[in-house]
Each structure stands twice: as C-alpha cells, then as structure tokens.
Amino acid sequence: MARAVIGVDLGGTNLRTALLGPEGILFDKKKEDSHAAGGYEQVIRKLVDSINRQRKNAEQRGLAVAAVGVGAPGVIHAHRGIVVKSPNFPDWNNLPLKEELERPLGIPVFVENDANAAALGEQWLGAAKGINSMILLTLGTGVGGGIVLDGRIWQGADGMAGEVGHMTIFPEGRQCGCGNRGCLEMYASSRGIVLTYQERLAETGAASAGLTSEQIYERARSGDTVACDVMSRMGRSLGIGIANLINIFNPEMIVIGGGVKDAWQLFIAAAREEIAKRAFAFPAERAQIVPSALGDDAGMIGAAAIALQRTAQA
Amino acid sequence: MARAVIGVDLGGTNLRTALLGPEGILFDKKKEDSHAAGGYEQVIRKLVDSINRQRKNAEQRGLAVAAVGVGAPGVIHAHRGIVVKSPNFPDWNNLPLKEELERPLGIPVFVENDANAAALGEQWLGAAKGINSMILLTLGTGVGGGIVLDGRIWQGADGMAGEVGHMTIFPEGRQCGCGNRGCLEMYASSRGIVLTYQERLAETGAASAGLTSEQIYERARSGDTVACDVMSRMGRSLGIGIANLINIFNPEMIVIGGGVKDAWQLFIAAAREEIAKRAFAFPAERAQIVPSALGDDAGMIGAAAIALQRTAQA
C-alpha cells in the first residue's frame, strides 16, 4: 500500500484534519468542532475519532497511514510531545498529548506548536515552496511565529523556539500577557491595532469608539487619517521586528499570515520602510516579504509534513 | 599521513593561525602582525606566507593539511568566500578572499565572519563544548555574534546571519554605525558603556571625565554609584537582547565573550534579572549564560572547525 500521513490542526474552536501523500497531494481535508470546552478527555476522544475516520478514508483509497502530526496551540514541549499549557485548553497542564494519542491509535504521533506547524506548511506547499530558510509571522489576536531553517522547523533545545511575537520592540511598552513589556505581539496583532487606535483617540480627546480591528481597516481604507496612522504605526512596529529577524537569520523569505494579513496594503509600505532603515542592506533587499498562501490549511499541512519528516528520519 | 586543518583569525591588528587535528588537538598556534595598513595585496601575501609556514610545520609532524578556514571581520558573503566590506580593511570591496588564497595555496579555503567562527570555536572546544545550540555575543568595541544550531554555524541565505549586535533594543535610541537606531551594540559594547557614562554625568551636571570603559569598571568596582548604575544599565540592555534570543531560539547556551566580559560581575545580575522578567520562563531557566573560555583563540579554532566540517561534507 502507498504511504500517507495525517496532519491535524487542533484549535480552540476548530479541529482540522488532512490526509496527504508524501509528495504533498492533499487527498482529503475535514473541519470539525474541537470541543475545547468539554475538557481534555472529550477533546482527546474527538481527536482519536477524527484521525480514525481519516485512516478509514485512507484505507478506502489504498493508502496506509504511517504517522500523525498534530499542531496544537500554546506552550508545547515538542521533543516529548507534551502540551505544557494552552490558553485554549485551560485544563491541559503538562498533558502528554503524544502518548494519549499513540496509545489508542497505535501509530507514531508527533506534536508541534501550531505556529511552527503552519510555518512548515507554508514552506512545503504554500508561499515559501522551494525556499530553504523562512520565518512565518502569524498576525492574529496575538503574534505567533515559526522558523524553518534548511527545510526543517527550528524547534530549539526543548521545542519551544519560534516565539518571535514576544520579541521586545518597545522596552517600556505595553504589558503583554507573557509577563514582558513591549512585545511585538502587543503592536502588530489585531489586539495591538485596537489598542493603538484607542490610544490615538484618547490623545486627540475623542471618545473611544470601541471599534474592532476589521472596522479600523475599513476606516483606513476609506481614508480616515487616525485609522491610517494607526495602521502605519502597526507597520512600523512590525518592521522593527522583521528587521531584527533579517539581521539575525539572513532568511530567504518572511511570510505574513493571520487575520491581520487582510489589511496588507494598509501596513506593508510602512513595514518595508522601517526594514530598509533598520536592517543590513543586502540581507534586507534579498529577503522576500510575502503574504501566506495556505490560510487556515497551513497548520494541518505543516503537521502532516512533520509526520513525514520524522518517519523518514526513523 | 594524518589529516589536519589550519584555522586563521584575521584581525585589523593581529593575524592568528592555528594547526589542529580533527579531534581538536591544537598542534601549534602563532600570532603575528596582520599588516592591515599595507593594503590588500600585502595582507594576502602575509596570509599566504603564514599559512604556508603552518603547512611546513604540519609536514614536519607527519600531517597533511586538508583545508584552511579563515575568520575575517566585516560583512562576509560566506557561501562565496567574499569580503563585501570590512571596517578593518578599508580597501577591501567585494574582495574574493577564498579565490585569492586558493590560487596560491592549492587547497580548499573557507571564509567566514570572525564572530561566527568564534562561536563555532567556543562550541567545539570552549565554553559550549558538547552543546548543540548556542549563541555567542562578543562584547567588544561593537557587539558581534554567532549562532550555532545543531553544531553548525547558522549562516543564513548569504552567509550574513548572526548580526545579533544589530538587534533594535531602543527604537528611538542612539544612532548606530550600521544606519539603525538603538542597536544592542550601542548599549552593551565598551563604546556603549562609555556613552552611557557620559550621558549620566551630563544628567548630573558633572563635567565629562573622558574615561575609558576599563576605568569605568574600576570605578564601579570601587563603589562609584554612577559607574555602578551605568554597568547595571548595560546589563539590562544586554538582558533585553538575550531575552529576545531565548524566545526566538530556545538555545541551550548563551556565551558572552569580548573585552567587556572582564566586567562580568558588574553587569550579569542586572542582565539575568531582565531576562527573567522578559523571556518565557522555561527556556529562560534552561538557557545557561556563561563567559567564553577560549579568549582570543576562539576565532582561529572555529575557523579550523569550519575547514573540518566543510571538507567532511565534500
């Protein structure tokens, strides 16, 4: 039987599974409810059921599933397959997810941070296809990141690398949930955009409008000067972070994903300007900065890539 | 004949050469004048002569020199062996150093940034021996850096990675020679320490004392409050940079070298405090922060390690 792998993206809301062949052929993908509120036993049961359905699916196509990759949110001890803690699954404390899945499934399972998985997904089949070294910045409510070097995720000593959203951009800046002040995440995420907008309104003496990030993009698109300024401030903050990554990594590509990516035209010029001012000229000019291509599929595709890479190693 | 390699550290003042065996045995080392002021032809001639003397030295010991590694200061295109520009050698513009040495020597030559070479030296035989992932910060007049991942220098797409000294620490901070503002280099180097001291004196209305960094360490050691404060500010700036590196890389070790390392006790507590405040707890606790062990030998030893790795690959 031909070999296949299953990639899983476990989110707080959605559970995405994909069945892929080694050459990157996507045989099937499914999106379901992840039942995060039901507690970890229910989530595990849900995961096992969904993975087993994809295995049956594989069998019917004459494919044997060699391994499963799972991208999960939060602090992940990737080498040991443990979810240390996860904002989306409050009762998961040092949960040995790899073991909990391998026992009922009977095939190898590899667990990775979801942003790292998404980075590898983009590198395998998305915006960074054919690129050796790239960094993904996922601009959502927070800022996630994943680093791919020589075609593999740089996991770090404990599988906790890639937290580029928690680079300090303004040392005396906004308090971040991680304990630090002035993290990139507090300025380049949708939440950061909303905060900057509120601050700017407060400065001008206007009442807070309570807008969402999408509404701020709308206003900026229709020429509102405060909203435009907020988006260019966001771009400059992002540019500081990207300039640092360029000087540190000399990467071929920076891929920007997440919901904020939809406001690309509103921040990218300011970001590029800041990068040109701050990073070394040669690596700055050669680093392509592009939007992500796989959208919400990046995580499960990257998780499948991890399963492939690890079983090829063994 | 047994195999050996030659490692070269080419500085603006000194030219260091070492003859090493594959197991890291240091057969011989020499320190000479690099004749930087004489123009590139003289420097090349000097390099060839010194390397040939080490080859004769090798022959007499029954060793065959397989390759030469050279660490050079400045912007290096490592993959192509080109010195793009070098502050120490003003007439070197896109100098093809690899070719210029391979032609007369007739054996493979590999060129690397000197700070990258020093990082690999510390990882091979120094403070990070047995460590897989480490970052070297060289605190001298400027701040150099080198990143070793899985036992190899992370060179980046063009061999220009590792410029951790040019991470932005204070976005509106001091103008750096690289064009950026607020680089780590402007705060954690000996020059940065002198500048902070001058600023602090100016704030207190005192006349500028024109002290060197060493004199500032002296004053701090004897309890001078301004000097102590300057050193702890330097430590906090360094801590911001290291916290970023920990969140990005989750490394096993951070090694601190360069002349400023001698003031270790004056800055390390403030640095550790800042790291604990800013970096993720688990990777921060596990990352060892240690002084370099090889001193000025790190560069030539790392250059030898590069020669070994590259010829083992071929």
Phi-psi region of A55 (alpha: psi -120 to 50; beta: other; left: phi over 0): alpha
CB pairs under 8 A between A and B: 129
Asked if the Cβ–Cβ distance from B161 to A250 is below 8 Å, we say: yes
In sequence order, what are the residues at sequence separation of 6 or more whose Cβ sits closer than 8 angstroms to the Cβ of residue A40? A89, A91, A92, A95
Determine the Cα–Cα distance for residues B73 and B83; give it in Å rounded to an integer: 8
Best of B160, B168, B242, B313 to substitute, by most chain A Cβ atoms within 10 angstroms, is: B168
Q: What is the pLDDT of residue B208?
A: 66
Confidence tier at A314 by pLDDT (50, 70, 90):
low
Q: What is the pLDDT of residue A89?
A: 87
Q: Which strands make up the sheet holding B63-72, listed edge to edge?
A: B26-33, B14-20, B2-10, B63-72, B109-113
- Which one of A159, A160, A249 has the shortest CB-CB distance to B161? A249
- Chain A residues with beta carbon closer than 8 angstroms to that of B154: 149, 249
- Beta-carbon count within 10 A of B72 CB: 28
User: Quick one: three-class SS letters along B227-243?
Assistant: HHHHHHHHHHHHHHHHH
User: A154, A162 in Cβ contact below 8 A?
Assistant: yes
- Which one of A244, A245, A252 has the shortest CB-CB distance to B157? A252
Per-residue pLDDT of B111-130, as tens digits, reads 999 999 999 999 999 999 99
- Chain B residues with beta carbon closer than 8 angstroms to that of A84: 282
The one-character DSSP state at A181 is B
- Which one of B163, B169, B280 has the shortest CB-CB distance to A163? B280
Q: What is the pLDDT of residue B314?
A: 52
User: In chain B, what percentage of residues exceed pLDDT 70?
Assistant: 99
The Cα of A151 is separated from the nearest Cα of chain B by a number of Å equal to: 12
User: In chain A, what percentage of residues exceed pLDDT 70?
Assistant: 99
Asked if the Cβ–Cβ distance from B149 to A147 is below 8 Å, we say: no
Q: For residue B207, which phi and psi values (nearest 5 degrees)?
A: -70, 145
User: A94, A84 in Cβ contact below 8 A?
Assistant: yes
- Which one of B167, B170, B240 has the shortest CB-CB distance to A247? B167
Is the pLDDT at B1 greater than 80, yes or no?
A: no
Mean pLDDT of A221-227: 96
- Which one of A158, A240, A283 has the shortest CB-CB distance to B158? A283
The Cα of B30 is separated from the nearest Cα of chain A by a number of Å equal to: 32
User: A249, B154 in Cβ contact below 8 A?
Assistant: yes
Determine the Cα–Cα distance for residues A68 and A15; give it in Å rounded to an integer: 14
Is the pLDDT at B105 greater than 60, yes or no?
A: yes
Per-residue pLDDT of B229-250, as tens digits, reads 999 999 999 999 999 999 999 9
- Chain B residues with beta carbon closer than 8 angstroms to that of A155: 250
Is the pLDDT at A105 greater than 90, yes or no?
A: yes
Note the ipTM here. 0.94
Determine the Cα–Cα distance for residues B263 and A9; give it in Å rounded to an integer: 48
User: At B40, which amino acid appears?
Assistant: Y
The Cα of B314 is separated from the nearest Cα of chain A by a number of Å equal to: 18
- Which one of A171, A178, A245 has the shortest CB-CB distance to B240? A171
- Beta-carbon count within 10 A of B254 CB: 24
What distances in angstroms separate CA A165 from CA A115, A134, A299, one per listed residue? 11, 15, 17
By residue count, chain A amounts to: 314
Is the pLDDT at B186 greater than 80, yes or no?
A: yes
Per-residue pLDDT of A1-29, as tens digits, reads 789 999 999 998 899 999 999 899 999 99
- Which one of B158, B171, B248 has the shortest CB-CB distance to A169? B171
Nearest CA in chain B to A172: B170
Instruction: Give the 3-state secondary structure of residue A265.
Output: helix
Determine the Cα–Cα distance for residues A311 and A109; give it in Å rounded to an integer: 10
What distances in angstroms separate CA A255 from CA A31, A171, B148, B155, one per listed residue? 24, 25, 24, 20
In sequence order, what are the residues at sequence separation of 6 or more whose Cβ sits closer than 8 angstroms to the Cβ of residue B90? none
Chain centroid to CA B302: how far?
10
- Beta-carbon count within 10 A of B31 CB: 16
Asked if the Cβ–Cβ distance from B280 to A160 is below 8 Å, we say: yes
- Chain A residues with beta carbon closer than 8 angstroms to that of B157: 132-133, 250-252, 283, 286-287
- Chain A residues with beta carbon closer than 8 angstroms to that of B247: 163-164, 166-167
The one-character DSSP state at A85 is E
Best of B131, B248, B288 to substitute, by most chain A Cβ atoms within 10 angstroms, is: B248
Determine the Cα–Cα distance for residues A164 and B64; give it in Å rounded to an integer: 46
Asked if the Cβ–Cβ distance from A157 to B133 is below 8 Å, we say: yes
User: A7, A304 in Cβ contact below 8 A?
Assistant: yes
- Chain B residues with beta carbon closer than 8 angstroms to that of A149: 149, 154
User: B170, B213 in Cβ contact below 8 A?
Assistant: no
- Which one of A157, A168, A243 has the shortest CB-CB distance to B244? A168
- Chain B residues with beta carbon closer than 8 angstroms to that of A156: 133, 249-251, 283
Is the pLDDT at A313 greater than 70, yes or no?
A: no
Per-residue pLDDT of B28-64, as tens digits, reads 999 999 887 888 899 999 999 999 999 999 999 999 9
- Chain A residues with beta carbon closer than 8 angstroms to that of B178: 280
Helix (H) or strand (E) holding B2: strand B2-10
Helix locations, chain B, DSSP H: 40-60, 97-105, 114-125, 185-188, 190-203, 213-221, 225-249, 264-278, 281-286, 298-313
pTM over 0.90: yes
Q: What is the pLDDT of residue B313?
A: 60
Confidence tier at A312 by pLDDT (50, 70, 90):
confident
Beta strands in A21-127 (DSSP E): 26-33, 63-72, 75-77, 82-85, 93-95, 109-113
- Which one of A171, A178, A280 has the shortest CB-CB distance to B280? A178
Mean pLDDT of B213-232: 97
Per-residue pLDDT of B277-304, as tens digits, reads 999 999 999 999 999 999 999 999 999 9
In sequence order, what are the residues at sequence separation of 6 or more whose Cβ sits closer than 8 angstroms to the Cβ of residue A211? A194, A197, A219
Mean pLDDT of A234-254: 98
- Chain B residues with beta carbon closer than 8 angstroms to that of A171: 169-170, 240
The Cα of A82 is separated from the nearest Cα of chain B by a number of Å equal to: 13
Determine the Cα–Cα distance for residues B169 and B244; give it in Å rounded to an integer: 10
Determine the Cα–Cα distance for residues B182 and A71; give it in Å rounded to an integer: 36
Helix/strand/coil percentages in chain A, nearest 5: 45, 25, 30
Asked if the Cβ–Cβ distance from B249 to A156 is below 8 Å, we say: yes
Helix (H) or strand (E) holding B21: none
- Beta-carbon count within 10 A of A310 CB: 17
Q: What is the pLDDT of residue A208?
A: 66
Domains of chain B in start order, with CATH, are 2-122+296-313 (3.30.420.40), 131-293 (3.30.420.40)
Confidence tier at B90 by pLDDT (50, 70, 90):
confident
Determine the Cα–Cα distance for residues B73 and B163; give it in Å rounded to an integer: 12
- Chain B residues with beta carbon closer than 8 angstroms to that of A169: 168, 171
Is the pLDDT at A56 greater than 70, yes or no?
A: yes
The Cα of A209 is separated from the nearest Cα of chain B by a number of Å equal to: 29
